[in-house]
Amino acid sequence: MEEGDELVWEIEDETLRVRVRRNPFKRLAGKYSDPRLTYDEIEGKADEFIG
């Protein structure tokens, strides 16, 4: 785990699962370097990663 990551807690059939959701902004860093992208488009991409 790193700073900015999230823990996701799921309960299914009396089983608790904890998983790490990586910081989406860190995953996106440098991935979309097209200067023509708007802030709203980049924010939409981040929302896709967050789920």
Token couple for 44: 């939409």
Residue 11 lies in a domain: no
User: Which residue range(s) make up the domain with 30?
Assistant: 24-51
Residue 15 lies in a domain: no
Q: Which pTM does this prediction carry?
A: 0.42
Question: Among residues 49, 14, 13, 7, which one has the least CA distance to residue 29?
Answer: 49
Q: Please give the DSSP secondary-structure letter assigned to residue 25.
A: H
Residue 13 lies in a domain: no
Q: Tell me the C-alpha distance between 38 and 26, whole Å.
A: 18
How many domains does the chain contain in total? 1
Reported as a single tens digit per residue, the pLDDT across 1-51 is 888 788 999 999 999 999 998 876 776 666 666 677 787 887 887 788 776
Q: Tell me the C-alpha distance between 16 and 32, whole Å.
A: 36
Reported as a single tens digit per residue, the pLDDT across 10-20 is 999 999 999 99
